[in-house]
Amino acid sequence: MQNLSQWIAIGRKYERWVFLALVVLFMGSLGILLRRFYLAHSELSPSRGGTYIEGSVGEFQPLNPWFTVQNDVNRDIVSLVFSGLLRYNPETQRIEEDLATMRVSPDARIYTLTLKDDLFWHDSTEEKPHPVTPEDVLFTFTTIQDPDFPNPLLRQNFEGVAVEKINDRTIRFRLDQPYSFFPSNLTLGILPAQSFAGVPVSRLRETVDFGLAPIGAGPYAFKSFAQTERSSEVTLERFFRPGDSPYYLERVILRIFPDYSALLSDIRNLDGVRIVPRNDRGDPVIPRPFTLHEYTLPQYVALFFNLERPVLQDRKLRLGMQLGTDKQQVVRTISESIIVDTPLLEIDTSDWRYHFDPAAAQGALFESNWHLPEKVRLQRLLERSEANSIGPLHIDSVVLLDTGAILTVTGSLSVAGSGARLNGARLETHPTQSGAWIAALATAAGTGSLQIGDNIVRLTKRDGTIIDSAYVWRTTNNALYRQAAEEQRLVELFLQSRTAQIPIEERISVSDLILERGMLRRRLATDPRDVRINEAGERLSLTLLTSPTPESYQKVAENIQAQWRDLGVHVVIEIPDTPQEFEQRLLKRDYDVLLFGESLLDNLDSYPYWHSSGIQRLDTGTANLRLDAYNLSQYASQRSDSLLEIIRETGSEKERTEALRELREILATDVPAIFLYSPLYTFGISQDVSGVSLGTLSLHSDRFLTLHRWYLKEQRALRSGVSWWSFLRWLIP
């Protein structure tokens, strides 16, 4: 019995262990099933939190939407701290509402903006609320219109615009003329009026206190600015606004470095790099495995012809230089890839393409007022050859005669008649040839004598009437005589080539000849191209001005210099030492050709750059030069002006498209510039940052217009319509 009791006790103990094992197995299995159910019926979604740190190269300056035009680093910060009534959407490529909603009159002259509810400035508190009001909007735009406003380029955008308050939420903009692109002007950041109370308009640029601690109404508030040994650092924190898309990043830190080497030294601490440079092969220079986003802006780099220079008013010359410019070679030189053929960037150019055509270039240049010296020389020799071959007077074109020797010439008496003379010398009856005359042309000094060099020999009647003329080139040097004789042989060969009298492989053209010491010879592969000349013998030499920054401009200029040298155009590159010196020369239009870039922003409006109103009036004196004279080619055309005005004013998309197409053809025909390329930019982002989609940017700072989708943290949650009660239905189908 005792043994039986022991076995029962052992069995009960075993049952407990089995039971515990079964419980553990059950719980483990249940856990696995629950996990499988959760993974199958849940999804990861962005979670709020985290700090995004981005590095850029540049210089931090006081922050103010009125004065950020020339500073892209500041523009990045301003785009997050300040908001406009409207904003550009890089995904739809349209202007959309931001702080306000908008209504537009049918004639596109009246824009009515209504502020959204519950908008506050970043310094607002519960004890002291600071709402965004129509007075702030009026202050922002009427200040710009003040004659003393220290940014005349921005003031130009609001000329002819009346701004008025309608009620406590509404502002109206009334335009003198319809302007379909006006909403783009309303993306400018609004400023709080009370922050500038008592500050004279002329001294707004000096408001450093506000610039170093700005107050805006954007999605992120300025928190701090810090200066370290390696960089400047701006910290922004999320600012809640009703109606905003949910922003996930709680904090954004922008680190500004003096150069890219300094940035790379801190690369491990960065989540993003604003613009990643590329090496000579075109590869991005970045050591970490960042995700790289390439994008272009509505920009183009072009060679602008100064059409007020007489030499460049020859359209055939401009066309020849355009056809002879190899854009593919240009972009390869600086590791770019996006070739541009027109300044009208909104036009779809997938159906047409520029073609480098050296033969067509030479054809256009042949018809211009500028010719290669060999062509001018050949043309003169052909004219002489034709003159010498027609008429009764036949003389060798080239003669070798020492001074004192006599050149004997004969001809028919029936043509000359009695009393005729040859260069003033009397004609004598030929002693051995019946019906012929003979004359001796002297080589010593005297009337009618043959001088060294070019001579015209005239056969005249008794009364002085010219019967015929011939051209004779005389030398006393055997080497020069052989050179001149070879030149005459080449002229004959050219004539036979032109009339197809000889086999193709033996034919020659002007491009096979070169002028050496005033005479033609066969061109060698090592011979340089001569500089073109005009009828007055003036050389075709042009100054090409470009900016000291970016460095790629110098490489492009040198490439163009080499290409145009092959066309017979001598180019002198001039790069001022400082940006200020360059800007002065730009204002004065002190160049023949300008290598420079232009930016169209989101509305792609070409009016400022190609309308005649943008020409710099140089006759009014240096003191009256306009900063807003953007027509760098000094281009004027009544038809293009009319089309640019239609594009600006029309509300009809069809009319606008037709005007753009016609304008494209006019600009292509007139050749006021040679459009080269659109710069390609690279934005680097850490693989830890998700949700990044840039869209079609108009400014570098537009990448932050989709910042509400970026996130660093994730959380997993059951899908909509699924709960834990669904587990049983999933477990038992």
pLDDT of residue 44: 62
> Can you tell me the distance from the alpha carbon of 332 to that of 310, in angstroms, rounded to the nearest whole number?
33
Which of the pair, 40 or 248, is modelled with greater confidence? 248
Give me the helix-helix angle, 358-366 and 315-323, nearest 10°. 170
Which of the residue ranges 89-103, 325-339, 416-430 would you say has the lowest mean pLDDT? Answer: 416-430
Confidence check: pLDDT of 662 > 90? yes
Residue 114, CB-side half-sphere exposure with 13 Å CA sphere:
7
pLDDT of residue 169: 94
Residue for token pair 């005007």: 659
DSSP string, 259-321: SHHHHHTTGGG-SEESS--B-TTS-B--SS--EEEEEE-SEEEEEEE-TTSGGGG-HHHHHHH
Rounded to 5 degrees, φ, ψ at 609 are -90, -20
Q: What is the mean pLDDT of residues 57-79?
A: 88
Which of the residue ranges 288-292, 606-610, 618-622, 718-722 would you say has the lowest mean pLDDT? Answer: 718-722
Which of the residue ranges 249-253, 374-378, 642-646 would you say has the lowest mean pLDDT? Answer: 374-378
Structure-token pair, residue 299: 């920009």
Which of the residue ranges 24-33, 198-207, 299-308 would you say has the lowest mean pLDDT? Answer: 24-33
pLDDT of residue 457: 92
> Can you tell me the distance from the alpha carbon of 402 to that of 404, in angstroms, rounded to the nearest whole number?
6
pLDDT of residue 729: 65
Where does the pLDDT of residue 296 fall: very low under 50, low under 70, confident under 90, or very high at 90 and above? Answer: very high
CB-based burial, 64-97: b 16+ in 10 Å, e otherwise: bbbbbeebbbbbbbbbbbbbbbbbbbbeeeebeb
Of 481, 493, 476, the C-alpha closest to 398 is 481
Residue 610 and residue 631 in contact, taking contact as beta carbons nearer than 8 Å: yes
Residue 371 and residue 532 in contact, taking contact as beta carbons nearer than 8 Å: yes
Residue 529 and residue 567 in contact, taking contact as beta carbons nearer than 8 Å: yes
Alpha-carbon torsion (99, 104, 108, 109), positive or negative: negative
Structure-token pair, residue 226: 């810090």
pLDDT of residue 42: 61
Of 438, 420, 419, the C-alpha closest to 428 is 438
Where does the pLDDT of residue 366 fall: very low under 50, low under 70, confident under 90, or very high at 90 and above? Answer: confident
Q: What is the mean pLDDT of residues 348-374?
A: 79
> Can you tell me the distance from the alpha carbon of 304 to that of 707, in angstroms, rounded to the nearest whole number?
37
Q: What is the mean pLDDT of residues 41-53?
A: 81
Q: What is the mean pLDDT of residues 11-30?
A: 69
Residue 555 corresponds to which amino acid? Answer: K
Of 332, 365, 300, the C-alpha closest to 667 is 300
pLDDT of residue 68: 77
Where does the pLDDT of residue 602 fall: very low under 50, low under 70, confident under 90, or very high at 90 and above? Answer: confident
Where does the pLDDT of residue 144 fall: very low under 50, low under 70, confident under 90, or very high at 90 and above? Answer: very high
Residue for token pair 């000349």: 533
> Can you tell me the distance from the alpha carbon of 524 to that of 429, in angstroms, rounded to the nearest whole number?
50
Cα-Cα-Cα-Cα dihedral of 317, 320, 321, 325, to 10°? 180
pLDDT tens digits for range 233-259: 999 999 998 888 889 999 999 999 999
What is the CA angle 113-115-116, rounded to 5? 130
Residue 538, CB-side half-sphere exposure with 13 Å CA sphere:
9
pLDDT of residue 714: 76
For 354, residues 6+ apart whose C-beta sits below 8 A from its C-beta are 327, 339, 341
pLDDT of residue 698: 92
H helices, E strands: number in the chain = 18, 31
> Can you tell me the distance from the alpha carbon of 260 to that of 686, in angstroms, rounded to the nearest whole number?
17
Residue for token pair 């293009």: 640
Q: Percent of the chain scored above 90 by pLDDT?
A: 58
DSSP string, 76-115: HHHHHH---SEEEETTTTEEEESSEEEEE-TTS-EEEEEE
Q: What is the mean pLDDT of residues 128-141?
A: 96
For 386, residues 6+ apart whose C-beta sits below 8 A from its C-beta are none
Collapsed DSSP state (helix, strand, coil) of residue 716: strand
Q: What is the mean pLDDT of residues 9-38?
A: 67
Radius of gyration of the chain (CA): 40
pLDDT of residue 191: 96
Mean pLDDT (the chain) is 89
> Can you tell me the distance from the alpha carbon of 74 to that of 69, in angstroms, rounded to the nearest whole number?
9
Which of the pair, 557 or 245, is modelled with greater confidence? 557
Residue 522, CB-side half-sphere exposure with 13 Å CA sphere:
9
Residue 710 and residue 52 in contact, taking contact as beta carbons nearer than 8 Å: yes
Residue 344 corresponds to which amino acid? Answer: L
Residue for token pair 């009246």: 110
Where does the pLDDT of residue 13 fall: very low under 50, low under 70, confident under 90, or very high at 90 and above? Answer: low
pLDDT tens digits for range 150-171: 998 889 889 999 999 999 999 9
Q: What is the mean pLDDT of residues 38-62?
A: 83
Where does the pLDDT of residue 722 fall: very low under 50, low under 70, confident under 90, or very high at 90 and above? Answer: low
Cα-Cα-Cα-Cα dihedral of 609, 610, 612, 618, to 10°? 50
Confidence check: pLDDT of 142 > 90? yes
> Can you tell me the distance from the alpha carbon of 104 to that of 364, in angstroms, rounded to the nearest whole number?
49
Task: Label residue 456 exposed, middle or buried (CB < 10 Å: 0-12, 13-18, 19+).
Answer: exposed
Q: How many CB atoms lie within 10 A of CB 623?
A: 5
pLDDT of residue 317: 95
For 705, residues 6+ apart whose C-beta sits below 8 A from its C-beta are 79, 87, 88, 89, 90, 695
pLDDT of residue 435: 82
Q: What is the mean pLDDT of residues 210-215?
A: 94
